[in-house]
Amino acid sequence: MFKKALAGIGAGALLFGLTACGGGGDDSGDGGSGNGLVIGFAQVGAESAWRTANSDSVKAAAEAAGHTLKFVDGQQEQETQISAVRDFITQQVDAIVLAPVVETGWTDVLQEAEDAGIPVILADRGVEAADEDLYVTRLGSDFAEEGRKAGAWAAETFAADADGTKILELQGTTGSAPANDRKAGFFEVLDSEGLNYEIVDSQSGNFTAEEGKAVMETFITTHGLDGIDLLYAHNDEMGLGAIQAIEEAGKVPGKDIQIIIVDGSKAGFEAGVAGKLNYIVECNPVFGDQLMEVVESVVNGDEVEKFTPVEEGVFDATQFEAELPNRQF
Ligand code: AHR
Instruction: Report the pLDDT value the prediction gives residue 162, as an integer from 0 to 100.
Output: 86
Pairing of strands 279-282, 197-204: unpaired
Residue 102 has pLDDT above 60, yes or no: yes
Residue 21 has pLDDT above 80, yes or no: no
Q: Which residues lie closer than 8 Å to 154 by C-beta, 6 or more apart? A: 165, 167, 186, 189, 190, 195, 230, 232, 260, 279
pLDDT digit string (tens) for 60-81? 999 999 999 999 999 999 999 9
- Among 2-11, 81-90, 165-174, whose mean pLDDT is lowest? 2-11
Probe residue for ligand 1, chosen from 44, 51, 76, 181 as the CB with the greatest number of ligand atoms within 8 Å: 51
Residues with CB under 6 A from ligand 1: 47-48, 50-51, 124-125, 178, 207, 235, 262-263, 283
Question: Predicted confidence band at 26 (pLDDT cuts at 50, 70, 90)?
Answer: very low
Contact assessment for residue 296 and residue 161, using Cβ atoms and an 8 Å cutoff: no
State which H helix or E strand residue 268 sits in. Answer: helix 266-273
Percent of the chain with pLDDT over 90: 89
SS3 content of the chain, % helix, strand, coil (to 5): 45, 20, 35
Q: From the alpha carbon of 45, which atom of ligand 1 is closest?
A: 10
Domain annotation for the chain: domains and CATH numbers: 2-140+285-311 (3.40.50.2300), 143-283 (3.40.50.2300)
pLDDT digit string (tens) for 241-281? 999 999 999 999 999 999 999 999 999 999 999 999 999 99
279-to-157, 259, 273 alpha-carbon distances in Å: 10, 7, 11
Instruction: Report the pLDDT value the prediction gives residue 99, as an integer from 0 to 100.
Output: 98
Instruction: Report the pLDDT value the prediction gives residue 4, as an integer from 0 to 100.
Output: 33
Nearest alpha carbon to residue 21 among 299, 303, 304? 299
Instruction: Report the pLDDT value the prediction gives residue 164, as an integer from 0 to 100.
Output: 96
Is the pTM value of this prediction over 0.85?
A: yes
Residue 32 has pLDDT above 60, yes or no: no
Residue 1 has pLDDT above 80, yes or no: no
Q: How far does CA 248 lie from the centroid of its chain?
A: 29
Instruction: Report the pLDDT value the prediction gives residue 193, as an integer from 0 to 100.
Output: 98
CA of residue 45 to ligand 1 center, whole Å = 10
Instruction: Report the pLDDT value the prediction gives residue 201, as an integer from 0 to 100.
Output: 98
Probe residue for ligand 1, chosen from 263, 266, 281 as the CB with the greatest number of ligand atoms within 8 Å: 263
Rg (Cα) of the chain, in Å, rounded?
21
Give me the sign of the Cα torsion angle 26, 49, 295, 173: negative
Probe residue for ligand 1, chosen from 43, 75, 124 as the CB with the greatest number of ligand atoms within 8 Å: 124
